[in-house]
Amino acid sequence: ETGVTQSPTHLIKTRGQQVTLRCSSQSGHNTVSWYQQALGQGPQFIFQYYREEENGRGNFPPRFSGLQFPNYSSELNVNALELDDSALYLCASSSTGGNTIYFGEGSWLTVV
Amino acid sequence: DQQVKQNSPSLSVQEGRISILNCDYTNSMFDYFLWYKKYPAEGPTFLISISSIKDKNEDGRFTVFLNKSAKHLSLHIVPSQPGDSAVYFCAARPSGGTSYGKLTFGQGTILTVHP
pLDDT tens across B11-70, in order?
Answer: 999 999 999 999 999 999 899 999 999 998 789 999 999 999 999 999 999 999 999 999
Of B49, B105, B108, the CB nearest to A100: B49
Residue A66 near residue A57 (C-beta atoms within 8 A)? no
Inter-chain contact A56–B103, Cβ cutoff 8 Å?
no
Integer Cα distance of B39 and B58 in angstroms: 22
pLDDT of residue B96: 67
Beta strand residue intervals within B1-115, DSSP E: 4-5, 10-14, 19-25, 30-38, 45-51, 56-59, 62-67, 72-77, 86-94, 104-105, 109-114
Integer Cα distance of B58 and A63 in angstroms: 42
Tell me whether A30 touches chain B (CB under 8 Å): no
Give the residue ranges of DSSP H helices in chain A.
none
Of B49, B101, B107, the CB nearest to A92: B101
Inter-chain contact A33–B42, Cβ cutoff 8 Å?
no
Over the stretch A79-106, which tens digit does the pLDDT of each residue have?
Answer: 999 999 999 999 999 876 667 889 999 9
Tell me whether B42 touches chain A (CB under 8 Å): yes
Query: To the nearest whole number, what is the mean pLDDT of chain A?
Result: 92
pLDDT of residue A51: 85
Distance from CA of B111 to the nearest CA of A (A): 14
Tell me whether B98 touches chain A (CB under 8 Å): yes
A29: CB partners within 8 A, 6+ apart: A72, A93, A94, A95, A98, A102
Of B46, B49, B89, the CB nearest to A102: B46
pLDDT of residue A96: 66
Could you give the 3-state DSSP secondary structure of residue B31? strand
Integer Cα distance of A4 and A35 in angstroms: 14
pLDDT band, residue A47 (cuts 50/70/90): very high
pLDDT > 90? residue A50: no
Integer Cα distance of A96 and A28 in angstroms: 9
The C-alpha angle A23, B87, A25, rounded to 5 degrees, equals: 15
Q: What is the mean pLDDT of residues B85-90?
A: 97
Chain B interface, mutation test: which of A44, A101, A105, A109, most B Cβ atoms within 10 Å?
Answer: A101
pLDDT band, residue A1 (cuts 50/70/90): low
Tell me whether A76 touches chain B (CB under 8 Å): no
In DSSP terms, A103 is beta-bridged to A92
pLDDT > 70? residue B99: no
Chain A interface, mutation test: which of B31, B57, B100, most A Cβ atoms within 10 Å?
Answer: B100
Over the stretch A16-44, which tens digit does the pLDDT of each residue have?
Answer: 999 999 999 877 788 899 999 998 899 99
Sign of CA dihedral A57, B9, B58, A28: positive
